[in-house]
Amino acid sequence: MIIDDDLDRRLLYELYHDGALSVPTLSKKLNSNNSVLDSRIKRLVRNKVIKKFTIQVDESKLGMGVRAEVGINRSPKRKSEIHKKLIEIPEVVSITEVTGRFDIIVSLHVPDLETLHHTVTAKISRIEGIQNTETFVELDRIDKDLEYLQPKS
């Protein structure tokens, strides 16, 4: 395992909540030396435990008030072609291959239901090899902390 101890876990927990925290601030929060934390962060990045430092955007404040998932069944022979065309659609945020009744789940962020309808019917459904779609509109979202990142007591 690449996470050595509780300090690594606490470090990841803090950075997960605020990736912009400086090493001196982390040092105070975690009661640890700056150089120790700096070397641990570098090791976690080098080992790809930390893939990137990023931000969370409130899509609704940018006019993207509707989030939806679209379950899609597709022709297996056209998988990569379909994925390429889907990822080119501006409203598509991610494509996830899944087990179950769908082959893939596509996440969308759009300004309104009219745009969602247009995106699904005029853009996604018209891609050659898409067999059927089912759309799920997100009504509410509750995110929780990743429990496996929580420091062990």
46-57, pLDDT tens digit by residue?
A: 999 999 988 888
Alpha carbon distance 15, 37 (integer Å): 12
- Structural class in CATH, domain 59-137: alpha beta
Residue with tokens 């990142």: 149
Q: How confident is the model at residue 88 (pLDDT cuts 50, 70, 90)?
A: very high
The model's pTM: 0.79
Averaged pLDDT, 53-65 = 87
The CATH 3.30.70.920 domain(s) of the chain lie at 59-137
Q: How far is CA 9 from CA 2, 19, 26, 37, 149, in A?
A: 11, 14, 13, 12, 6
Contacts of 129 (CB under 8 A, 6+ apart): 74, 75, 77, 78, 81, 82
| Domain at 6-46: CATH code | 1.10.10.10
The CATH 1.10.10.10 domain(s) of the chain lie at 6-46
DSSP string, 103-142: SEEEEEEESSHHHHHHIIIIIITTSTTEEEEEEEE-----
